[in-house]
A and B are shown apart, each in its own frame.
Chain A
Amino acid sequence: MDWIFLAELSVNGALTGLLYSLFAIGLVLVYKSSSVPNLAQGALTMLGAYVVLAFSIQLGVPLWLAIPVAIVIMFFVGLGIEKVALRRLAGRPIVMILMMTLGLDIFIRGSTLAVWGGTSRPMELGVSYDPFFAGPLLLSRINMVGAAVSVALFVAFIFFFRSRLGIRLRAISDDYMASWSVGISVERGVGLSWALASVVAVITGVIWGEIQSVDQSLSLLLLKGLTVAVLGGLDSILGAVLAGILLGIVENVGSAYLDPIVGGGSRDLLVAIVLILTVMVRPHGLFGRHDIERV
């Protein structure tokens, strides 16, 4: 057993895993407030990256300005999606809500590609591709940047949930009937969580766009993000971060040892198996709230 190789795999896996957490935070934000599993988050991530590129390439705005502008635009896109599509489905069976997010996913992906085309294009953040040497370990610089952003976002959300607005969101996620009765506008809270999820989607899109360039495959992050979110417990942001690290390590180390046996491509298999096992063994995840169902 080559311990340095294993350590390198684990650390790089953990860094990649934190990038999955970035995606999962967006899912958790929406699920926490409205119990809607947002299967359109992958498409939103892709849209976010394309909007950033639309400003920076087509309009020639520098990237440091294009990203905030895209964040503002996507904030309102998120608000709009919640207001137009999801609000009227409240109280409907979960299959309709799932189908709505799947329809949104197909629609956003289709129209994004129809407007900007599917050719893959780089996101030039200017992070060097040279590996970073930490002792004997080779680490990817962009993954480190992304992991740092992920942790920063997590800390920011901790503070946000201590603010007056954040406490309102927490109240909504606890019990929306009770929140209604004390005068909290549940609709606005849920809309805000969609807007924040779309903002997270822009950030995810920028970081992942730098890693793998901006194209349709950005929306394929959905399976990994979903697995991380479920593993961490769908309503826990801390869970999303820790589960991301865990899944990243499992995926990276597991695929390094499994790939030679099964002939490559075992990453997606491992992720799907982790998702199945999580749901079978502990459906509410590592840190999620265990709801008791009443007849």
Chain B
Amino acid sequence: MFYRQSGIRHRSYVSDSKLFPIPMDRNLVLFLFLLGLAAPLLIDTLYLNSYVLPWLIWTAAALGLNLVTGWAGQLHLGYAAIMAVGAYSAVHAARFGIPWEFALLIAGLASAAIGSVFAFAAMRVKGLYLALTTLAMQFVMDWVLSHVPAITGGSHASLQSPPFKLLGQPITSDAGLYYVAFGWCVIVTIFVLNMRRTGLGRALVAVREKDYAAAILGVNSLYYKIVAFATSSFIAGITGALLVVTFFFLASPEQFSVTVSVQVLAMVIVGGLASIIGSYLGAALILLMPGFANSLFSATADFLGWQMDPETLAHIPNAAYGALIIIFLMVEPLGLGKIYNNIRDYFLVWPFDQMKK
């Protein structure tokens, strides 16, 4: 009833490869887009800038990682390091006096350059060994960030980001910062949505399924691996820069440590590999869950009259975060995106379930 499929007849290849063949999907996306545009009017600024804004930025990050891990099938445990490259190069460029539009571009290009170095590991090995190499590269980057004062100002220092301006307009208001994050997230989403139906997207999927087989079919798997790493690193760089500019307001090494890499990977896995809606849902779940677990446990403790050690309370979110990943992989390894798809499949034929093939 909702996902009406009647009357959809493809008469040309162009109409067959439309982004949303079913009007309901398109309307839903439009509705969510309008909701996002209207969010500053609907949501209190406190919630807007402390929950919705980071959620959108981390979603962009998760989409970038999903591009290389979900679509191209290359494991990447050093994503935060790439984000750090972008963040630091943008802040340094802006401090040098370069306008922010170009500073963000520099961030993306610098990250893409470093990210391609990661891709050289992908040319040699894959699977587990690639994961270990990228993990080691993340540790090297952590070390560089904490030991090269020229970049970060030292291990415990943080770098103030200069006032943010786009197109000559200083962006300081909460709504303005929100729109920057929203705009970037929308751009990344549109890019990834469209990538799936281009030759590039299909080549990446071929490489993911079996790189040797893809090579036999004439897909240059090494080239596409590098493209995947570079593209996802470009997204990571700008995302890292925007994270600093709109949310943290200063850059420090621990914002991009190995735990952050694991966190973004957790968003991708919990959301579902190669699932766009999954990246949104996964980022939301991973970001909101620790706070939720904390308030749940303190509320329970208050209710039962227990005296909870503050140290215990401090570590419960971590335990809950780990448990969430474990439970998701046990119950639904394909993630939240798969759950959404199941619901959508149900409504696709509802209320005429018996017509399902």
Contact = CB atoms under 8 A, between A and B. Distances in A.
A125 interface: no
B143 A283 contact: no
Interface stretch (A16-24, A91-99, A140-148, A239-247): A91-99
B147 A107 contact: no
Contacts of B311: 113-114, 117-119
Interface in B131-152: 131-133, 135-137, 139-140, 143, 146-147
B317 to A, nearest CB: 8
Nearest to B311: A117
A151 interface: no
B266 interface: yes
A279 interface: yes
Contacts, number: 148
B132 A99 contact: no
Of B133, B266, B325, B326, most A-chain CB atoms within 10 Å: B326
Contact of A102 (B73, B133, B265, B323): B265
B133 to A, nearest CB: 5
Of B73, B143, B320, most A-chain CB atoms within 10 Å: B143
Interface stretch (B189-197, B209-217, B340-348): B209-217
A194 to B, nearest CB: 15
A111 B319 contact: yes
B322 A268 contact: no
Interface residues of B, number: 48
Interface in A78-133: 84-85, 88-89, 92-96, 98-100, 102-111, 113-115, 117-119
A230 interface: yes
Nearest to A43: B322
A263 B121 CA distance: 28
Contacts of A275: 132-133, 136
B69 A110 contact: no
A226 interface: yes
Contact of A108 (B136, B262, B322, B325): B322
29 contacts: A84-B330, A88-B330, A93-B273, A95-B131, A95-B273, A96-B329, A98-B75, A98-B77, A99-B325, A103-B266, A103-B325, A105-B322, A110-B315, A110-B322, A113-B311, A117-B312, A118-B315, A119-B311, A265-B147, A268-B139, A269-B147, A272-B140, A273-B140, A276-B133, A279-B121, A280-B121, A280-B125, A283-B124, A295-B212
